[in-house]
Chains A and B, each alone.
Chain A
Amino acid sequence: KNQVEQSPQSLIILEGKNCTLQCNYTVSPFSNLRWYKQDTGRGPVSLTIMTFSENTKSNGRYTATLDADTKQSSLHITASQLSDSASYICVVSANSGNTPLVFGKGTRLSVIA
């Protein structure tokens, strides 16, 4: 069964600190993996997208890594800001024309002053 598991479920960090969110997946055949940021009451916004051959992708203070062998990904946030408080969702797309994306349940990040 295609699944995406994220950890931790929630995380509280101090402003300015770094943090790393984890994503494990069993989606096959793999096409690409995305990280989205979702503010409360808003739709998800894409941060990064990585295909099978990519190991890392950065977007400002966000850096995503992908290990396609172990089927793991991480999202590292550097020098966190209060505005980083949101849910971060890992989404995996199967390389199949009729399969929608498979979503993780997200990690709820709270950045406090």
Chain B
Amino acid sequence: DTGVSQNPRHKITKRGQNVTFRCDPISEHNRLYWYRQTLGQGPEFLTYFQNEAQLEKSRLLSDRFSAERPKGSFSTLEIQRTEQGDSAMYLCASSLWGGTLANYGYTFGSGTRLTVV
């Protein structure tokens, strides 16, 4: 297992375009999280899944943002009609949750750096 994989690593897009990012978690992990991080700040929670169910969404996740995890494995995060304020690093993380395991093995991917011009 190579850990949490995110693609692409970098994305430059024009304002108003749609973009989609992909995250492949560690295979045995049942939880998958998305975060956004701007320069000099810690990661901000966006949403998370347990298997294929989206259990929580932050108020930061506007209507232009949508995330899916259709088969409980990889996840996609789509941003529609991108704005310059969407420029950030988008981080994915996964963990194993269940029984006595609270966020066991919580691991981050390397992130996707989005620049909206």
Give A residues with C-beta under 8 Å from B: 31-32, 34, 36, 41-46, 89, 93, 95, 97-98, 100-101, 103-106, 108
Q: Interface stretch among B13-21, B62-70, B78-86, B102-110?
A: B102-110
Give the docked Cα–Cα distance between A36 and B111 (Å).
15
Give the docked Cα–Cα distance between A105 and B55 (Å).
25
Give the docked Cα–Cα distance between A95 and B91 (Å).
23
Let me know if A43 and B91 touch, CB within 8 A.
Answer: yes
User: Which secondary structure dominates where chain A touches chain B?
Assistant: loop
Most interface-central of B6, B42, B44, B56 (chain A CB within 10 A): B42
Let me know if B33 and A43 touch, CB within 8 A.
Answer: no
Give B residues with C-beta under 8 Å from A: 4, 6, 33, 40-45, 48, 55-56, 89, 91, 93, 97, 102-103, 106-111, 113
Q: Which of B44, B103, B109 contacts A43 (CB 8 A)?
A: B109
Let me know if B102 and A103 touch, CB within 8 A.
Answer: no
Give the docked Cα–Cα distance between A108 and B4 (Å).
24
Tell me the total A-B contact number using a CB cutoff of 8 A.
52
Could you name 12 residue pairs across A and B whose Cβ atoms are closer than 8 Å? A41-B113, A42-B110, A89-B43, A98-B56, A100-B33, A101-B106, A103-B42, A103-B44, A104-B42, A105-B42, A106-B41, A108-B40
Give the docked Cα–Cα distance between A66 and B103 (Å).
19
Give the docked Cα–Cα distance between A32 and B105 (Å).
12
A44-B91, A100-B45 given; 7 more Cβ-contact pairs under 8 Å: A42-B111, A89-B43, A93-B103, A100-B56, A101-B45, A105-B40, A105-B41
A95 CB to nearest B CB, Å: 7
